[in-house]
Amino acid sequence: MKDSIIKYIKNLPPIHPAGRIFIVAFFLAALFIDQFSTFFGWVGLILTVWCAYFFRDPERVITDRENAVVSPADGKITSIIEVVPPKELGLGKEKLKKISVFLSIFDVHINRVPVAGKIIARHYIPGKFLNAELEKSSDKNERMLLTIQRKDKVKVGFVQIAGMVARRIVCYAREGQELEIGERFGLIRFGSRMDVYLPLDADVRVLLGQSVLAGETVLAEIK
């Protein structure tokens, strides 16, 4: 049975490099514990499988539609509203459309860029670890705020938000960096939220409660 679990791990999609150290640590701990308790050795192996599953990094088919805004994360659409964006994004004081994606601990947690362009703002804010499904987590929780500017000067803001279980935001994007639509830029461990701020006239293409895939699902079209 343990051989089957190990075989299952090997057949998982590619693992993000950030997760390898956790998987190895879980696996070694499981082998060590198994010397003293078969039951807890099994528990350790199950946790190792879950850890590998959490850090999976499947390939995605990215759209070539010029004005598409793709989801930056896997998960469920929990909010589509009009709000004044955080000042750190540098998007002005007028209301914009905000689309929120909630990631459970079972979703892929690799984050992808919603549009192609240059990162013109990057701002980290420490905070609380409230349930990321709640709207107030956008203002209260630990978060990383990013603004990207397309070649036509249209700006899109997107925010990585930590949740109750997530305690670590990883962001590789740097100010001044040019990124392609759907390109990987970070991840959040373990359960979280992503907010996307779009021009008010953007044509939203998703519905509340809809499941989305990072890099593949089109959230909106920019006019």
* Cβ atoms of 155 and 91 closer than 8 Å: yes
Burial of 82 (0-12, 13-18, 19+ CB in 10 A): exposed
Query: Residue 111's closest CA among 62, 71, 155, 54?
Result: 71
Q: How far apart are CA 16 and CA 220, in angstroms?
A: 27
SS3 27: helix
Q: Is the peptide bond before 185 cis (omega within 30 degrees of 0)?
A: no
Catalytic residue, from 4, 100, 192, 211: name it: 192
Q: Which whole-number Å values give the CA distances from 48 to 18, 19, 27, 44, 56, in the listed order?
A: 15, 11, 6, 6, 12
> Is 192 among the catalytic positions?
yes
Query: Active-site residues: which are they?
Result: 192
